[in-house]
């Protein structure tokens, strides 16, 4: 029933000529394609661009067809604010441990964005990171690297230009939160940033888990904690750092380290400890991150957002992250 309701939201949002809507298709995501890497030619990407599910970007000497799934954007703009969501890793500590996206597809992701747009009354855009959720690339060799941040930042620019978006409210879970934290140092159009269970002090996270050589080496990773000093002062911007203090994947104290760095530099930031993530890792807080992103994009007060998060039930079971 929930799937049918979300499909109805998609149809409703797409039916009005004033609104832009990613177009559903029969494309389904598989873990097999993630393992071998996803290749999309420029001409194939052009067809996806016409369906409003892709942008062709170039950054750091690389080019890629990156996917997005949008609902509620005003066609031709302006769109004063849009919510953008960046998912977490779909890989574990080895290239064959793949999860989350299997069985989902373009139609399901558009429906998800449609449900969030309807709930919060703002446009919502889900961004697929390289090699994930249909985006071109090899997730295993791109995640957490500077090239990933550069390509995803370029995707934000491309979608912003396409739809006349003025400001972003950006949210991300886990490694998606790592990206959003890095964007704070790269962009001046972010009005809200929601970092859910993110390795936002990346070096501290790797060291705490003894993963410095297994997941990344220092010459390859980027660490948002090192970029805090580059974040411009903006009294209108709010940052929410959400985590479960019981977490065993990305230790909460490493998330607090990034938050403390923000506060020390005078940025408007809130640390939100929520014991709502499921065992055994207490890592998944995607529902909370999405809700805070949508509420902040809508302009709800900080007090309202914190009360909303505190009142939400434990994280639901879901495939997308």
- Average pLDDT, whole number, for the chain? 93
In this predicted model, what pLDDT tens digit does every residue of 141-155 receive, in sequence order? 999 999 999 999 999
Query: CA 224, 135, 51: angle at the middle one, nearest 5?
Result: 125
Residue 218's pLDDT is: 63
pLDDT band, very low/low/confident/very high, at 217 (cuts 50, 70, 90) = low
For the segment 8-15, the average pLDDT, to the nearest whole number, is: 41
For the segment 186-193, the average pLDDT, to the nearest whole number, is: 98
Distance separating alpha carbons of residues 212 and 229, to the nearest angstrom: 23
Which helix (H) or strand (E) segment is 260 a member of?
helix 252-264
Residue 12 has pLDDT above 80, yes or no: no
Tokens (6 digits) for 292: 């805070």
Among 141-145, 184-188, 201-205, 213-217, the range scoring the smallest mean pLDDT is 213-217
Residue 23 has pLDDT above 70, yes or no: yes
Distance separating alpha carbons of residues 49 and 207, to the nearest angstrom: 41
The 8-class DSSP code of residue 26 comes to S
Which three-class secondary structure state does DSSP give residue 280?
coil
Identify whether the C-beta of residue 255 lies closer than 8 Å to the C-beta of residue 195: yes
Residue 51's pLDDT is: 97
Residue 313's pLDDT is: 97
CA atoms within 13 A on the CB side of 130: 29
pLDDT band, very low/low/confident/very high, at 215 (cuts 50, 70, 90) = low
Percent of the chain with pLDDT over 90: 87
DSSP string, 113-175: HHHHHHHHTS-EEEEPPTTSTT-SB-HHHHTTSHHHHHHHHHHHHHHHHHHTEEEEEEEEETH
For the segment 164-173, the average pLDDT, to the nearest whole number, is: 98
Identify whether the C-beta of residue 244 lies closer than 8 Å to the C-beta of residue 255: no
DSSP string, 184-214: TTT-S-EEEEEEES---SHHHHHHHHT-TTT
pLDDT band, very low/low/confident/very high, at 10 (cuts 50, 70, 90) = very low
Residue 14's pLDDT is: 42
In this predicted model, what pLDDT tens digit does every residue of 266-314 receive, in sequence order? 999 999 999 999 999 999 999 999 999 999 999 999 999 999 999 999 9
In this predicted model, what pLDDT tens digit does every residue of 260-269 receive, in sequence order? 999 999 999 9
Which three-class secondary structure state does DSSP give residue 217?
coil
Residue 180 has pLDDT above 70, yes or no: yes
pLDDT band, very low/low/confident/very high, at 96 (cuts 50, 70, 90) = confident
CA distances from 273 to 37, 111, 134, 218, 309 (A): 36, 29, 33, 29, 10
Nearest to 240, CA basis, from 298, 275, 287, 197: 197
Q: Between 256 and 97, whose confidence is greater?
A: 256
Residue 4 has pLDDT above 60, yes or no: no
Residue 226 has pLDDT above 90, yes or no: yes
CA distances from 151 to 66, 110, 137, 240, 299 (A): 8, 22, 11, 24, 28
**Architecture in CATH for domain 2-311:** 3-Layer(aba) Sandwich (3.40)
- Residue identified by tokens 């494309």 is 27
Residue 213's pLDDT is: 72
Domain boundaries of the chain, sorted by first residue: 2-311
Nearest to 22, CA basis, from 94, 92, 75, 61: 75
CA distances from 321 to 109, 115, 191, 301, 317 (A): 11, 15, 22, 26, 10
Identify whether the C-beta of residue 127 lies closer than 8 Å to the C-beta of residue 158: no
The verdict on pTM exceeding 0.85 is yes
């Amino acid at each position: 029933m929930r799937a049918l309701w979300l499909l109805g939201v998609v149809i409703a949002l797409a039916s009005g000529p004033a609104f832009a809507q990613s177009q559903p298709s029969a494309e389904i995501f598989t873990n097999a394609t993630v393992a071998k890497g996803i290749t999309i030619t420029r001409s194939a990407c052009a067809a996806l661009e016409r369906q409003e599910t892709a942008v062709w970007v170039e950054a750091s000497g690389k080019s890629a067809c990156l996917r997005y799934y949008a609902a509620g954007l005003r066609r031709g703009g302006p769109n004063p604010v849009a919510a953008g969501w960046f998912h977490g890793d779909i890989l574990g500590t080895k290239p064959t441990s793949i999860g989350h996206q299997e069985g989902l597809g373009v139609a399901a992701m558009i429906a998800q964005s449609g449900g969030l747009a309807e709930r919060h009354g703002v446009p919502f855009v889900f961004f697929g990171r390289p090699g994930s959720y249909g985006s071109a690339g090899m997730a295993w060799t791109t995640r957490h690297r500077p090239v990933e941040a550069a390509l995803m930042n370029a995707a934000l620019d491309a979608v912003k230009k396409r739809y006349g978006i003025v400001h972003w409210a950006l949210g991300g879970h886990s490694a998606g939160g790592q990206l959003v934290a890095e964007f704070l140092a790269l962009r001046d159009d972010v009005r809200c940033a929601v970092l859910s269970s993110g390795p936002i002090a990346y070096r501290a996270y790797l060291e705490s888990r003894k993963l410095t050589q297994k997941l990344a080496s220092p010459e390859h990773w980027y660490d948002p904690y090192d970029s805090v000093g580059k974040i411009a002062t903006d009294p209108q911007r709010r940052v929410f750092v959400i985590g479960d203090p019981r977490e065993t994947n990305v230790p909460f104290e490493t998330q607090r380290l990034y938050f403390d760095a923000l506060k020390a530099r005078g940025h408007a930031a809130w640390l939100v400890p929520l014991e709502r993530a499921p065992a055994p890792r207490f890592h998944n807080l995607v529902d909370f991150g999405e809700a805070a992103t949508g509420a902040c994009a809508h302009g709800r007060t900080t007090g309202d957002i914190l009360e909303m998060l505190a009142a939400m039930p434990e994280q639901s079971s879901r495939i997308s992250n």
